Amino acid sequence: MWGRVLRQAGIAEPSLRRDYALQRRVVARFARAEYLAVRLLLPPALQPDVVAAVAFMHETDDRVDRGEAAERSAALVEWTGLVEKACTTGDSDLPVLRVLAHTVERHPDMRARVGDFLDGAAWEVAWEEFATEAEFDRYVTGYSLPAFMLLAGFLAPSGSPASEDFTHCCERLISAMQRLDFLEDLAEDLRAGRLGIPMEALDGCGVSRADLLPGRPRSPAVTCLVRTQADVAAAALHAAMPLEHGVRPAGRPFVRALIGVQRLRLEAVRSVGAGLIERSSGPSALGSLGLLARETAARRRHRSRG
């Protein structure tokens, strides 16, 4: 089935097909719900491009998110050089970059998005905590949004640069997703000495960093913190709703499903509440499958009417 998708995308060279197949398995392993949404809801010819973009994002995050700040910074410099060489020459020793270079060749405007993402990765390297909500917003604008645009650029209306409304909706959506990431990963981030919830939000709920350590009693203040952060994420998600109508028609079921998965993540975060200092959370598997099934059926009905 994946072989047919590659044929529809015009990817015929055997070694390149193997590279794309490898990236498909990587994405399916670390982002199962999103991967299923890509496979079920996006046009086949677009699926390899999205897989390439998501695999590249994941590899970048993995490389620049380990070790001390100096190690992360050196890793980013090295990685940027490898990416630029691959995109310039069209080749690399790494399958993820061979696939990226091929995608850039097929979609030249992708090159600028890759550059913006790597420039913004300095934010990911440097952050350890955010003093204010404004600092969180700058992180989202500087890093999270360029990362999301690697994918969203394939869904933007063709023939013109992305409109301000389109970019704003993308920014609101990725802001919600990033905040949910930080809530879900609260325990893991704290073990690494990082905190993705702005300190002013902790102050507003009367919470100290010590209150977030594992083994601490579950206090109403921590419950308040999780609830208020979830409410902010929900507001950003609501503001992103017009994105469904700002993308190409073929991408609308995917966008609806992506937003729907974030709602399920919100439900899970609220359900776990103060327990997030002990363990992560995630969207309901049954809820995600039901959502994807509904959108797949709606896509089929739309195609049959067309």
Segment 277-286, tens digit of pLDDT: 999 999 898 9
| Residues 210, 216, 220, 226, CA torsion sign | positive
Please choose, from the candidates 239, 122, 244, the residue with its C-alpha nearest in 3D space to the C-alpha of residue 171. Answer: 239
**Are 1-126 and 128-306 in the same CATH fold?**
yes
Task: Report pLDDT for 69.
Answer: 84
- Two structure tokens written together for 127: 């952050």
Res. 34 pLDDT band, cuts 50 70 90: confident
- Two structure tokens written together for 198: 């702005």
Query: Are 265 and 283 contacting, i.e. CB atoms less than 8 angstroms apart?
Result: yes
* Alpha carbons 244 and 257: distance in angstroms, whole number: 10
In this predicted structure, the answer to whether residue 303 has a pLDDT above a threshold of 80 is no
Interval 162-175 mean pLDDT: 91
What residues contact residue 177 under an 8 Å CB cut-off, 6+ apart? 144, 148, 262
Interval 175-182 mean pLDDT: 97
Interval 9-29 mean pLDDT: 94
| Residues 139, 144, 147, 148, CA torsion sign | negative
In this predicted structure, the answer to whether residue 65 has a pLDDT above a threshold of 90 is no
Q: Where are the domains positioned within the chain?
A: 1-126, 128-306
> What are the residue ranges of helices labelled H in 31-144?
32-41, 47-64, 69-89, 95-106, 110-126, 133-139
Cα torsion through 63, 69, 74, 80, rounded to 10? 50
Query: What CATH topology corresponds to 1-126?
Result: Farnesyl Diphosphate Synthase (1.10.600)
* pLDDT tens, position by position, 88-103: 999 999 999 999 999 9
Q: What percent of the chain has pLDDT over 70?
A: 97
Average pLDDT, the chain: 92
Please choose, from the candidates 62, 21, 54, the residue with its C-alpha nearest in 3D space to the C-alpha of residue 258. Answer: 54
**Could you give the 3-state DSSP secondary structure of residue 153?**
coil
* Alpha carbons 195 and 128: distance in angstroms, whole number: 6
Interval 266-284 mean pLDDT: 94
Cα torsion through 12, 14, 18, 24, rounded to 10? 10
Containing H/E element for 165? helix 164-184
Homologous superfamily of 128-306? Farnesyl Diphosphate Synthase (1.10.600.10)
* Alpha carbons 101 and 97: distance in angstroms, whole number: 6
pTM over 0.85: yes
- Two structure tokens written together for 179: 């905040």
- Two structure tokens written together for 8: 């529809």
What residues contact residue 142 under an 8 Å CB cut-off, 6+ apart? 120, 122, 123
* pLDDT tens, position by position, 70-91: 999 999 999 999 999 999 999 9
